[in-house]
Amino acid sequence: MKMKRVMAISKKEFIHVIRDTKSLVASLLIPITLLVLFGWALNLDVDKIETVICDFDRSPKSRELVSRIEHSRFFRVIAHPSDMAEAEEHIMFGRAAIMMTIPSGFGRDLERDGSPKIGVAIDGSDSNRAGIGLGYMNNMIMMFSNEVLKDKMISLGVKKIDPPVEMRQVVWFNPELESKNYIVPGLIAVIMTVIAAMITAMTIAREWERGTMEQLISTPVRGQELIVGKLIPYIAIGYLDVFISVVMSIWVFKVPFNGSYALLFFISSIFLIGAMSLGMLISIVGKSQLVANQMSMLIAFLPAFLLSGFTFAIENMPMPLQFISKLFPATYFVAMVKVVFLKGVGLRVLWYDTVLLVVYCALLFVLAKTKFKKSLE
């Protein structure tokens, strides 16, 4: 492979990229657009759950419990219906997700050492939100119940009894448990897959459609020189997209970065070369920009978005899909970007995934080189 011929092809492709203003602008705007859309729209934090409370007791204790719920960040009390029919309408019409009912005599039963029952109804049409909301409500009521019990023990002169086992929790790497802190780094990997595969999927196919492939075939340029020369400009664009994505993640979305920038760009380089080799392979096989674009969506974007662990936890998938997900490099790259961002780990931890990415990159490049034939067939 002669570098002179590689650089000549690369220069030709750079000129085309610069002249094709629309594609260049799109390749730079897509990361920004996807980060803004998914970074702000895809929020898995469950708080401010719409709640209606029917307080049929209106005693000091019931008002105290209602006040705690109203001032909690997890709930947003939208109404205090005077009867059950009105409360149920809020659930039926989707205005509220939780309906809490405090029965008459609640405060009196507490004073008499009774065990009053509080009714909580959950809209289960959104199972994830319902389950989390039920957990929040259960914790709120348990905390209130424990404090009532503590006050009773103090009034009776009973010595405070500490629980036999006490949990002291510490959250590492994402103390606020904000979903954006692990969604946005994973989104970088998905964006790189989309950009890398889609922009390179058009290169060879474009040459065939415009009739310029015949001229390239007639030159001494070898297949591997053509592929490498065409990859160089798009790898440069890919680096720029990585830079934009990382800067936006840190400065716009305030995602903590605890790792090494050098390591992040190193693993991104490997992944970009592999993903662009995949795009090149798609372009060689498709020989049509329309077909190549559709193939890149099916082979690159959808697996990266659905099977990489970015949107859905791989552990929750059926076993066949878990196995299939391991065949896509985006699965490893998503996990690597997340831990570099949040945990700050190095190659000592990521060496295995890095080796897999290198193997994937080499395999796809060899496949693209093998599949490309300097012939008009």
Q: From 155, 189, 209, give the residue that closes a domain.
A: 155
- 264 and 331 in a single domain? The answer is yes
Beta pairing, strands 49-55 & 98-102: parallel
Spatial separation of the C-alpha atoms in residues 249 and 180, rounded to whole Å: 9
169 domain-assigned: no
pLDDT category of residue 210 using cuts at 50, 70 and 90: confident
Q: How confident is the model at residue 200 (pLDDT cuts 50, 70, 90)?
A: confident
Asked whether residue 171 is domain-assigned, the answer is no
Q: Supply the pLDDT for residue 237.
A: 86
Cβ pair 97, 80 in contact under 8 A: no
Same domain, 38 and 106: no
Shared domain for 129 and 220, answered yes or no, is no
Q: Is residue 376 part of a domain?
A: no
Round to whole Å and give the CA distance between 335 and 190. Answer: 11
- Specify whether 361 is located in the same domain as 290: yes
Asked which of 223-227, 257-261, 324-328 is least confident by mean pLDDT, the reply is: 223-227
pLDDT at 302: 81
- Where does the pLDDT of residue 68 fall: very low under 50, low under 70, confident under 90, or very high at 90 and above? very high
Average pLDDT over residues 279-302: 79
Confidence band, pLDDT 50/70/90 cuts, at residue 377: low
Q: Terminus-to-terminus CA distance in the chain, angstroms?
A: 24
Separation between Cα atoms, residue 222 and residue 220, nearest integer Å = 6
Contact (CB, 8 A) for 249 and 35 = yes
Does residue 100 surpass a pLDDT of 90? yes
Q: Give the CATH number of the domain where residue 102 resides.
A: 3.40.1710.10
**In terms of pLDDT, which residue wins out, 223 or 250?**
250
Pair 20, 133 in one domain:
no
Q: What's the one-letter identity of residue 115?
A: S
Asked whether residue 6 carries a pLDDT value surpassing 70, the answer given is yes
Residue 141 has pLDDT above 80, yes or no: yes
Q: What is the pLDDT of residue 214?
A: 67
Q: Distance of CA 240 to CAs 24, 153, 268, 307, Å?
A: 11, 65, 11, 26
Asked whether residue 170 is assigned to any structural domain, the reply reads: no
Whole-number mean pLDDT of the chain? 84
Task: Give the pLDDT confidence score for residue 374 in this predicted structure.
Answer: 58
- The encoded tokens of residue 83 equal 């009867």
Mean pLDDT, rounded, for 126-137: 84
Domain boundary among 85, 120, 155: 155
Name the band, by pLDDT with cuts 50, 70 and 90, for residue 263.
Answer: very high
Whether residue 255 is predicted with pLDDT greater than 70 in this model: the reply is yes
Is pLDDT above 80 for 105?
Answer: yes
CB 254 within 8 A of CB 170: no
Q: Are residues 138 and 260 in the same domain?
A: no
Residue 116 has φ and ψ, to the nearest 5°, of: -65, 150
Confidence tier at 165 by pLDDT (50, 70, 90): confident
- pLDDT at residue 201 greater than cutoff 70: yes
Query: Residue 80's pLDDT band (boundaries 50, 70, 90)?
Result: very high
Summary count for the chain: helices (H), strands (E): 16, 4
Residue 222 pLDDT > 90: no
Residue 215 has pLDDT above 60, yes or no: yes
Separation of alpha carbons 314 and 307, rounded Å: 7
Task: Say yes or no: 25 and 121 in one domain.
Answer: no
The pTM of the full predicted model, rounded to 2 decimals, is 0.76
Nearest CA among 31, 1, 2, 17 for reference residue 233: 17
Residue 307 and residue 280 share a domain: yes
Let me know whether 38 and 58 are in one domain: no
Q: Where in the sequence is the domain holding 31, given as residue range(s)? A: 3-43+179-371
Q: What confidence tier does 367 reach under pLDDT thresholds 50, 70, 90?
A: confident
> At which of 98, 120, 155 does a domain end?
155
* 32 and 53 part of one domain: no
pLDDT value of position 313: 81
Report yes or no on 101 lying in a domain: yes
Residue 126 lies in a domain: yes
Q: Is residue 198 part of a domain?
A: yes
Q: 237 and 355: one domain?
A: yes
- What average pLDDT does range 297-311 have in this prediction? 82
When divided into structural domains, the chain yields a total of: 2
pLDDT value, residue 375:
57
pLDDT of residue 160: 67
Q: Are residues 130 and 194 in the same domain?
A: no
In a domain, 168, yes or no: no
Q: Residue 49 forms beta bridges with which residues?
A: 75
Q: Which is higher by pLDDT, 16 or 124? A: 124
